[in-house]
Amino acid sequence: MFKIAVLASGGGTDLQSIIDAVENKYINAKIEMVIGSKNDIYALERAKNYNIDTFVVSRKEYGIKSSDKILELTKDKVDLIVLAGFLSILDGDILKEFDNKIINIHPSLIPSFCGPGMYGLKVHEAVIKSGVRFSGCTVHFVNCKVDGGAILLQETVPVYFEDDAETLQKRVLEKEHIILPKAIKLLSEGKVKVVDGRSKIEE
């Protein structure tokens, strides 16, 4: 059985999309654990509702050792780590141990509107301010460069003149909930290879 750990920092709607995909057998996998970046986030409640083990690894408690603690929890227990709205940056040994086995969902079309400090509504505000006509979301592998790993899947949405950050975020989230489970499915079926920094999908 393909096992995954999901890391979250907020309400967990991306997590819910993964839970639903597992429940309806779209993905043949088990969510082994959900790790939150702080207590009292709704993502942890979602996990508990499905009897998924939960842990909290906060920067406040673990500081620069946060990534090491996450590695301690996940090593030899999961095949894939999924960052689903996880706002802390992973670093250190976990990136080597889980090389090409950590994915993240980012709310823009990488390489645009990404990198340090670009998360949540800040991304959508920057998109609107720029005047671009399309935005979207990207599932990518995680490496030592923020939002710099190989791109796995992308989906686009239109950007309307009347949009604000919240309306654009809602439109992008709908696509996130489609491509994040799809990416996990592809990886669980061994259909992805990373070649020279690019993802090759073998359908």
Catalytic residues: 106
As a whole number of angstroms, the distance between CA 146 and CA 84 comes to: 15
Answer whether 8's CB lies under 8 Å from 15's CB.
Answer: yes
Q: Is 65 marked within a binding site?
A: yes
As a whole number of angstroms, the distance between CA 21 and CA 122 comes to: 28
Characterize 179-198 residue by residue with b for buried, 16 or more Cβ atoms within 10 angstroms of its Cβ, and e for exposed: bbbbbbbbbbeeebeeeeee
Q: Is 143 marked within a binding site?
A: no
* Residues in a beta bridge with 141: 103
Binding-site residues: 65, 104
Binding-site residues for (6R)-10-formyltetrahydrofolate: 65, 104
